[in-house]
Amino acid sequence: MDTVLVTGISGFIAKHVALELLRQGYAVRGTVRALGGADEVRRSLAAQGADVARLTCVAADLDRDVGWAEAVSGCRYVQHIASPFPLEVADDREALVPAARDGALRVLDAALTAGVERVVMTSSMVAMMYRPGRPAECSIHEGDWTDAEWAPLTPYIVSKTRAERAAWERMRTAGAEARLTSVNPGFVLGPLLDAKSSTSIDVVKMFLTGAYPALPPVAFPVVDVRDLATVQVCAMTLPAAGGRRLIAAGETITMRDMALALRAAFPARRRRIPRWVLPAGVVRFAGLFDRALRALRGDLGVTPIADSAYVTALTGVEFRPAAEAVVAAGRSLEALHLI
């Protein structure tokens, strides 16, 4: 039985990946910052019908070297998913880089030393989407890279771009590019497995609880976390996925269309869910005083379209409609009494 290391297993995406791995018969070893968090992961996956007898957890932190050699020992594959993604926007655009970049390199170095067959690194479409001078409708392709020096970028976007670039450079230097696959998801929605939310799901929560009085005129490619988990596991074993960047996203949806989907699905909450869209100029001006709105500067006036047909051809994953992922996120928030 092959063992797969899943970094940051208590996270939203990582738990779904671990669930898919357990369903497919793998043994899963997950990293947590403190072993006290392992019981929650075990309960969540068991509630989904997973055989948690094949699940173990070890303590390892992206900020420290300690524990990573032991974590990867005996693993055939690594799913490196852990990365900081705070909802609050820091002033320092490089604030998240050390944890994201250096943490990824720690995992890769440990994996190379241990002879791991392949590392699947969860990057993001944000590492592909942003540069000056983009057209109003911008198709995002596998070879595209975000310009990390572009002024409007948030610390999260900078960290994901620098971390992925550093990962590919490390594997090129080691002559091991084929042992790395990056998966670059769009905006990740879909159902929570437990009451531990995520930054992306918190956006849906804010829709449903009336936290947004109006909507910014922005759009994002969306992926349901269940489809993302399937892509991640496929990327681990498919020979043709080695050395590739796999865009995991289907439809692009505007914030307004997200709100309309939620208004239709949650009629009792309709009055709380906004439907009015702010002009881009108003968002830019308000961003001078509001960090959250300032973080949207790079998204105003551009509709990014994920060129992911090659991923469907490679993995067989047909991405769910964006509205379905949005509503599934809302229903899980309701079922878990988080709204």
Predicted pLDDT of residue 280:
74
Is residue 100 within 8 A of residue 57, CB to CB? The reply is no
**Can you give the residue range of the structural domain that contains 236?**
3-335
Asked if pLDDT for residue 275 goes beyond 90, the answer is: no
Predicted pLDDT of residue 98:
86
Predicted pLDDT of residue 62:
86
Predicted pLDDT of residue 89:
52
Question: At 69, is the pLDDT very low, low, confident or very high (cuts 50, 70, 90)?
Answer: very high
Asked if pLDDT for residue 284 goes beyond 90, the answer is: no
Question: At 213, is the pLDDT very low, low, confident or very high (cuts 50, 70, 90)?
Answer: confident
Catalytic residue numbers?
160
The percentage of residues in the chain with a pLDDT greater than 70, rounded to a whole number, is 95
Predicted pLDDT of residue 91:
67
Average pLDDT over residues 154-161: 93
Q: Nearest CA to 123 among 61, 168, 81?
A: 81
Least confident of 18-22, 188-192, 276-280, 299-303: 276-280
Give me the CATH number covering residue 305: 3.40.50.720
Q: Nearest CA to 79 among 3, 137, 140, 160?
A: 3
Q: How many domains does the chain have?
A: 1
**Residue 240's CB: how many other CB atoms inside 10 A?**
11
Interval 25-59: pLDDT, tens = 999 999 998 887 889 999 999 999 999 999 999 99
Asked if pLDDT for residue 121 goes beyond 80, the answer is: yes
Predicted pLDDT of residue 277:
87
Mean pLDDT computed over every residue of the chain = 92
